[in-house]
Amino acid sequence: MSFSSFYDEGGNSFITSKVKTIKVGLEDERFELLPNQGAFNYLLRNRLKYMTELEGILIDWQIIKVKVKKKMNADLTPFKRLSIKGKFTILNVCEGNILSGEIIQIKDKTLIARTYDIFLAHIEIGSDFVGKVGE
């Protein structure tokens, strides 16, 4: 099961793909019988959000394998979690990195730009800012 944003990495150093296994809590017992659907729902809810497990913002994925694991808490109460192995495409940007984008709106003291055709950046601007929509 996969999700694709149709984004071409094309040599971009901020967007990378990696094969990794992440472990998440099984939120709905129904997904014990449909683990692929549980994994897809979890990833879809976290798309375009920072995921600590992946060290970046999730863009898209291809699920390779999903398993339901049964574990015990320290107080010996049982719990279940999903182990999701997949190829994940992530955006990893740090403070100070420079991204290119297109200005789509300027209002008050905020500029809104679209970058990679899937992210919006809200940037505070000063009164001396020179620029226009479309640049």
DSSP state letters, 85-102: EEEEEEE---TT-----E
Find out whether 23 and 79 touch, Cβ atoms under 8 Å. Answer: no
114 contact partners, CB below 8 Å, separation of at least 6? 101, 102, 104, 120, 121
Q: What is the pLDDT of residue 65?
A: 95
Entry pTM: 0.72
Find out whether 37 and 44 touch, Cβ atoms under 8 Å. Answer: no
Q: What is the pLDDT of residue 4?
A: 58
State how far the Cα of 86 lies from the Cα of 66, in Å rounded to an integer. Answer: 9
Over the chain (135 residues), the average pLDDT of each successive run of 10 is 54 82 83 86 92 92 91 67 93 78 83 79 79 76
- The identity of residue 11, as a single letter, is G
State how far the Cα of 79 lies from the Cα of 86, in Å rounded to an integer. Answer: 23
State how far the Cα of 126 lies from the Cα of 134, in Å rounded to an integer. Answer: 19
Q: What is the pLDDT of residue 52?
A: 93
Q: What is the pLDDT of residue 25?
A: 83
